[in-house]
Amino acid sequence: MAVKGILLLGNPILREKSEDITVFNNELINLINDLKDTITDFQQRKKIGRGIAAPQIGILKKVIFLSLPNRSFALLNPEIIWQSEEKIDVWDSCFSFDVAFFVKTKRFKSIEIKYQNEIGESKKEMLKDDLSELLQHEIDHLYGVLATDHLKNNKDIILREEFEKRYT
């Protein structure tokens, strides 16, 4: 459909709670396609990124689009229904930070989520490690929570250029 502008850190819309999807129609398909086009464009330009949430393009709806190496799909009304006791430390960035920096966060090592697909079918998935932390990050967006909110120590922030020198 269209590449949309991504709202940046400081935009108050990123702090608002999103609404559930209750109608599965062409308008929803258009939103999913906009998210797909936007993440594809961002990945091509910035060489990074796996997921985007509708609030990041200014739409306060519970829609996430994931673009993974072997799978791309939308998750509607996603919800974490179980989480492991074990947590992992991850370096987290965000399209809304223009991936200019990373913050160290703690995320659950494993989660189980339930969500709906684009035609309203209910789905459940167990996720661990990098996919677990990715979905936690994207679901946070639906509730106005950003990765910077998980920062516990102001020494756990690093610019992308330095991150790439040290960790990639």
Total domains in the fold of the chain:
1
Q: Is residue 76 part of a domain?
A: yes
pLDDT in tens, 48-70: 999 999 999 999 999 999 999 99
| Segment 14-35 mean pLDDT | 97
Starting at the earlier edge strand, list the strands of the sheet with 101-108. Answer: 87-92, 101-108, 157-159
User: Tokens standing for 83?
Assistant: 């989480």
Q: Is residue 2 part of a domain?
A: no
| Segment 127-139 mean pLDDT | 96
Q: For position 105, which CATH number holds?
A: 3.90.45.10
- Annotated catalytic residues are 138
Give the domain extent around 161.
Answer: 12-167
Q: Which pLDDT value is given to residue 168?
A: 81
Give me the residues paired with residue 111 across strands: 83, 127
Q: Which pLDDT value is given to residue 153?
A: 87
User: Tokens standing for 80?
Assistant: 């974490």
pLDDT in tens, 142-168: 999 999 999 888 889 999 999 999 888
Q: Is 109's pLDDT higher than 90?
A: yes
